[in-house]
Structure formats: C-alpha cells, structure tokens
C-alpha cells in the first residue's frame, strides 16, 4: 500500500520567528521512500495551534496524496468537520479530473469535535486586485450582512516571492503594510517552504495552500477570506479557488469564505478606485524580474491597466507604463481559456461603461478571432479523436 504519513513536530525557535512543522513521509508497503519537512514561520505571536494539531498539514498534502494515490495517515489530531469537508473536496476534484486525481482514504490518530470558532477574520494580502477589493469592502462594512470584521491580514513569503528573495519581500511587505495602515488593519508576515516541498500544479492547489497557511491563526481568528479569482458568471473549472470548493477547506474552528465572485475584475477595480492607498499600491505582477513591483509589460499588468481604462479611470502610478494603447493588446497574444475570459470581461465592462476608444474595437476583433481559432482547434481534435 502507498501511504503518506504526517508527523507533526514540536514548535521551534528560528531566529526571530517561531516555526510550526510537519514531517511528510512517503511509504510504499514497508519501505520508506523519502521524507520532507513542511514548515511555516511566524513572528513572535501567541496562541498558535497545539503541536499535535495537524489540520494545516492535512490540507497542505491532500492534493499531492490524491495525485500519487496515497492513503493519508495523520499521526496527530484533526476535527471531524474538516475530515467530512475534505471527503467532499477530494470527490469534487476526482469528479473534475478523474484521470489525474484518486479518491484516497484518511486515517487519523485523534478526531476532535465541538470546537469553538472565534469571531473576526484574516485575509491573505499582497496588494493584488482580489485581496484589495475584499479588504476594502469588508473593512468599510460595504458587504451588508456578509461583512466580516478583519482583525488582521497576512502576507506569505514563499508563494509569489521566492524565499531567497528577501529584499523583494521586505519591500512588498512594507508597501502592503502602508496600504492596510490607512484602514487600521495590521499585516503579519509568514514564511513557508510550501512550494519547495509540495509539487502539485499551483493553479489547482493555490486555495488549499493559502488555507493551510492561514489555518495556523485559528486560535486568533475564526474565518478566512479568500478573494475570488473569477465571477459567478464566468467561473473556470477545474481551478484552484472557486466558490464551489473553497468552503470545503473549512474546519469546525476555521471557516473559509470565498469572497467577491459577485464582481468581475473590472468591477473590482472600480470599487478599489475609492481607496487611494489601495489603488496606488496595487501589486499584480508575478512575471517581472523584480517581484516587489509591477513591470507594466506582462499580460497581467496590461490586463489590470485595461481594467482601469474599461472604467474610464486613470491608470494608477503603481504601473511604470501608464500610457497604453490598442497596440498593447497584441503583446499578450495568444490567450488561454482563463485569460480569454478575463479579457472578455474587460470588453463587456467597456461596452457597459460606453467606452468608445479604438482599443475597444481592436479588443473585440481580437477576441472574436481567438474564440474562432479555439473553436476550430477543438473541432479538429474531436475529428481526429473519432478518426
């Protein structure tokens, strides 16, 4: 039998940080194949989970275990509610990608019930559009009865900014911290080697990685806000973060809320424009050479700038190239399905806002061409498969 053993480790002091960690051990029958240590590091904060609490670690490894068809054996404690939710989460991914993922079993040393969930929320924040939108709406109580009291935000070093790039993280953290200071929300840094030891496709595991990291704050806050990637009317499946699956990462003690799917990215930008600091300090780029700022040239930078143009808004100074034209659209061809959907939403927003610039016409022609080309490719694949 193929097994993935989880052995939670005692807390360690690493410099000025406290480390929670878990040994992940692969076992084939009676033979140990390899072992790795997954760790999370925090500043000196109180009320981290108990050493034996293994919920964060289980969430972190579930998709890798499914990929390798390994039973997960947890040598620690997990809540019954998380096990129930992860059973459905597992089955959802197996339903979407049966050729990739397997319905693995869980075995846990200690199952716990009746845990009290604390009030208030935490939100991951690195200055992107989705998180900035969520923090602004909830921080200003603009989401009606669904509004959450955000006690703190967290920025993760080791996700989009590599662990070895300390200077970029410090710069990005200081900028994000200044943004949140304007609405009196503190920002906490977290370090993790998650992406070095968990090798599953990041586009599929992103929400699980985020929840696994923020789970470590569940004795401080009881809710985790995840900013949506796509709106309800243009959901992408399979995808790492969706309103259909994110809530299935909830435990009895730590609820996960997928937030913002009522808005397209263009609509989110219109709301963010109300927040000067949030707008001026947006950081959306992950392809540029410098990870603490926007390059102004990659697809995501250009797309975000056109989000502003679709609202007839000035492009904020956080983008080094504030002057763009329809020619910029040609720089990011061809589109994949997810990006094609994003640019389609930009076009819809521009039309809704009665924007009649030349770039709107060029984008419409480009999208029609891309959609037709993809339709032809799908048709040819179908014909070849049947042949």
- DSSP β-bridge partners for residue 39: 21
Nearest partner of 179 among 347, 318, 29, 40, judged by Cα: 318
Confidence of residue 44 (pLDDT cuts 50, 70, 90): confident
Point out the least confidently predicted range of 3-7, 148-152, 188-192, 318-322. 318-322
- Give me the chain's average pLDDT, please: 93
More confident residue, 338 or 195: 195
Strands annotated E in the chain: 2-8, 12-14, 17-28, 31-42, 71-79, 106-112, 121-124, 150-157, 187-192, 223-227, 255-259
User: At residue 382, does pLDDT exceed 90?
Assistant: no
pLDDT of residue 387: 58
Q: Do 152 and 122 contact (CB within 8 A), yes or no? A: yes
pLDDT in tens, 284-321: 998 888 889 999 888 899 999 999 999 999 999 999 86
How much of the chain, in percent, has pLDDT values that exceed 90? 82
Cα 199 to Cα 36: distance, rounded to the nearest angstrom: 12
pLDDT in tens, 219-266: 999 999 999 999 999 998 899 999 999 999 999 999 999 999 999 999
Confidence of residue 338 (pLDDT cuts 50, 70, 90): confident
Cα 363 to Cα 369: distance, rounded to the nearest angstrom: 10
Cα 170 to Cα 165: distance, rounded to the nearest angstrom: 9
User: At residue 29, does pLDDT exceed 70?
Assistant: yes
pLDDT of residue 376: 81
pLDDT of residue 73: 98
pLDDT of residue 153: 98
Q: Which helix (H) or strand (E) holds 211?
A: helix 202-214
Confidence of residue 128 (pLDDT cuts 50, 70, 90): very high
Report how far apart, in Å, the C-alpha atoms of 96 and of each of 37, 66, 190, 237, 275 are. 30, 13, 32, 8, 38
Nearest partner of 14 among 190, 199, 219, 215, judged by Cα: 190
Confidence of residue 5 (pLDDT cuts 50, 70, 90): very high
User: At residue 333, does pLDDT exceed 70?
Assistant: no
Confidence of residue 323 (pLDDT cuts 50, 70, 90): low
Structure letter (DSSP) for residue 53: B
Task: Please report how the helices 358-386 and 299-310 are oriented relative to each other, as an axis angle in degrees rounded to 10.
Answer: 130
User: At residue 196, does pLDDT exceed 70?
Assistant: yes
Mean pLDDT of 165-194: 97
Cα 111 to Cα 96: distance, rounded to the nearest angstrom: 29
More confident residue, 329 or 226: 226
Other C-beta atoms within 10 Å of 364: how many? 14
User: At residue 350, does pLDDT exceed 80?
Assistant: yes
- 271 — alpha (psi -120 to 50), left (phi > 0) or beta? alpha
Q: What helix, strand, coil percent values describe the chain, rounded to 5?
A: 45, 20, 35
Strands annotated E in 197-341: 223-227, 255-259
Q: What is this structure's pTM?
A: 0.93
Distance of CA 174 to the CA centre of its chain: 21
pLDDT in tens, 60-101: 999 999 999 999 999 999 999 999 999 999 999 999 999 999
What Rg value do the Cα atoms of the chain yield, rounded? 22
Other C-beta atoms within 10 Å of 304: how many? 26
pLDDT of residue 239: 93
CB-neighbour burial class of residue 162 (10 A; exposed 0-12, middle 13-18, buried 19+) = middle
Cα 131 to Cα 242: distance, rounded to the nearest angstrom: 15
Confidence of residue 366 (pLDDT cuts 50, 70, 90): confident
Cα 248 to Cα 192: distance, rounded to the nearest angstrom: 23
Distance of CA 112 to the CA centre of its chain: 28
pLDDT of residue 322: 61
pLDDT of residue 324: 78
More confident residue, 369 or 214: 214
């Amino acid at each position: 039998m193929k097994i993935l053993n989880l052995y939670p480790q005692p807390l360690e002091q690493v410099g000025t940080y406290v480390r929670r960690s878990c040994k992940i051990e692969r076992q084939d029958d009676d033979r140990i194949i390899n072992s790795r240590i997954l760790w999370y590091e925090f500043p000196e904060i109180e009320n981290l989970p108990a050493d034996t609490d293994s919920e964060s670690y289980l969430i972190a490894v579930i998709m890798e275990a499914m990929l390798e068809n390994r039973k997960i054996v947890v040598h620690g404690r997990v809540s019954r509610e998380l096990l129930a939710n992860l059973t459905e989460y597992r089955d959802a991914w197996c339903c979407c990608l049966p050729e990739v993922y397997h319905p693995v079993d869980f075995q846990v040393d200690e199952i716990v019930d009746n845990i009290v969930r604390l009030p208030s929320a935490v939100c991951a924040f690195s200055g992107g559009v989705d998180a900035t939108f969520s923090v602004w709406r909830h921080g200003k109580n603009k989401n009606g009865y669904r509004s959450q009291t955000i006690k703190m935000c967290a920025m993760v070093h080791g996700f989009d900014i590599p662990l070895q790039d300390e200077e970029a993280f410090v710069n990005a953290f200081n900028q994000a911290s200044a943004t949140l200071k304007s609405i009196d929300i503190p920002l906490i840094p977290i370090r993790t080697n998650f992406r070095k030891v968990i090798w599953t496709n990041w586009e599929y595991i992103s929400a699980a990685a985020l929840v696994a990291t923020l789970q470590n704050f569940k004795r401080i806050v009881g809710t985790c806000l995840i900013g949506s990637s796509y709106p309800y009317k243009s959901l992408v499946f399979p995808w790492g973060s969706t309103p259909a699956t994110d809530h299935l990462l909830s435990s009895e003690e730590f609820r996960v809320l997928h937030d913002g799917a009522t808005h397209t990215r263009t609509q989110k930008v219109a709301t963010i424009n109300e927040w000067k600091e949030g707008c001026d300090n947006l950081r959306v780029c992950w392809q540029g050479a410098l990870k603490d700022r926007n390059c102004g040239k990659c697809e995501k930078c250009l797309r975000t700038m056109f989000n502003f143009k679709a609202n007839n808004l000035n492009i904020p100074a956080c983008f080094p190239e504030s002057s763009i034209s329809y020619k910029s659209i040609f720089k990011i061809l061809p589109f994949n399905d997810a990006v094609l959907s994003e640019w389609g939403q930009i076009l819809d927003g521009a039309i809704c806002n009665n924007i009649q610039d030349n770039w709107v016409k060029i984008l419409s022609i480009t999208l029609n061409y891309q959609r037709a080309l993809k339709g032809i490719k799908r048709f040819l694949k179908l014909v070849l498969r049947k042949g």
